[in-house]
Amino acid sequence: MKKKEIVFVSRIIHAFVFVKIVSKDIIITRNIHAYVYFYLLFLKKKERIDTL
């Protein structure tokens, strides 16, 4: 339980730091989010192709 809590807190800290750094340029953030989103879609499609 303790280890999970530590991991959870560290994730929050990482997310906060990421937001802090990225909030300096909102346009770049949107591009990153779009890139990640499309990349995840690509991976899902790839998985479907592999399963077929």
Predicted confidence (pLDDT) per residue in 8-42, tens digit: 888 888 887 777 766 666 666 677 778 788 888 88
Q: Is residue 35 part of a domain?
A: yes
Helix crossing, 26-51 with 2-22: angle to 10°? 130
Instruction: For residue 44, name the pLDDT band (cuts at 50, 70, 90).
Output: confident
Q: Which residue has the higher pLDDT, 52 or 20?
A: 20
Domain encompassing residue 29:
25-52
Given a cut of 80, whether residue 47 has pLDDT beyond it is: no
According to the model, what pLDDT value does residue 28 have? 66
Domain count, the chain: 1
Q: Is residue 11 part of a domain?
A: no
Q: Is residue 10 part of a domain?
A: no
Q: Is residue 19 part of a domain?
A: no
Contact 22, 32 (CB under 8 A): yes
Q: Is residue 1 part of a domain?
A: no
According to the model, what pLDDT value does residue 51 have? 59
